[in-house]
Amino acid sequence: MSDISVSRRESAARNKHRERKCMEDRRERTVQVSQHIEAIRSGRANVALMHQLACIWNNHSSYIHGQTRSERFVCYSENGQELLVTAKSGFPLCLDWSDLPTVKETISLAINQREHYLRQPCLIGSLLWSIIALI
C-alpha cells in the first residue's frame, strides 16, 4: 500500500472523527440552550449565554462558521432558526437590565482591553431598536 493511500485514509478518519465531534457538540448545545429559550427571548438569560449568542450573531466565534447569521445559528444548534429569532427578540430587552455597567466601568474595562459580557448583546439590541424605530 502506498504512503499516499495510507495518508488519505488517515486524513479521512480524522475528518470523520472531527465531523462526529462537531455534531455531538451541536447536539449538546441544542439541549442546553433549549432549557433557556424563554429567558433568551425575554433578554434575561445568563449573561455568558447572551454574550455567546451575540458572538455568533457578529461572527466572532472561532468554532462556529457560516457566511450568514442563519448559517452560523444552524451550525451552533439543531434549532438554529428558532434560536436566531429568539435571540433577535431578546437582544433589545438586554437594554432593560437594572445592573448594566456604568459608563465608568465600561471605560475602565475598555482601557484594559476587556468588555462586559452584556456589551455585545446590548449593542446588537440597540441597533435592532434603531431599526424598529425607523419602521
Q: What pLDDT does residue 135 have?
A: 63
- Total domain count, the chain: 1
Average pLDDT over residues 20-42: 95
Mean pLDDT for the stretch of residues 68-77: 96
> Higher model confidence: residue 135 or residue 116?
116
- Which is it for the CA torsion 22, 23, 24, 28, positive or negative? positive
Residue 1, pLDDT score: 60
Residue 132: count other Cβ atoms within 10 Å of its Cβ. 9
- Report the distance separating Cα 127 and Cα 28, nearest Å: 30
pLDDT, tens digit, 9 for 90 and up, residues 101-126: 888 998 899 899 998 888 999 999 99
When the pLDDT of each residue in the chain is averaged and rounded to a whole number, the result is 90
pLDDT value of residue 76: 96
- Residue 99, φ and ψ in degrees, nearest 5: -110, 35
- Residues of the domain holding 78: 3-134
How many C-beta atoms surround the C-beta of residue 7 within 10 A?
10
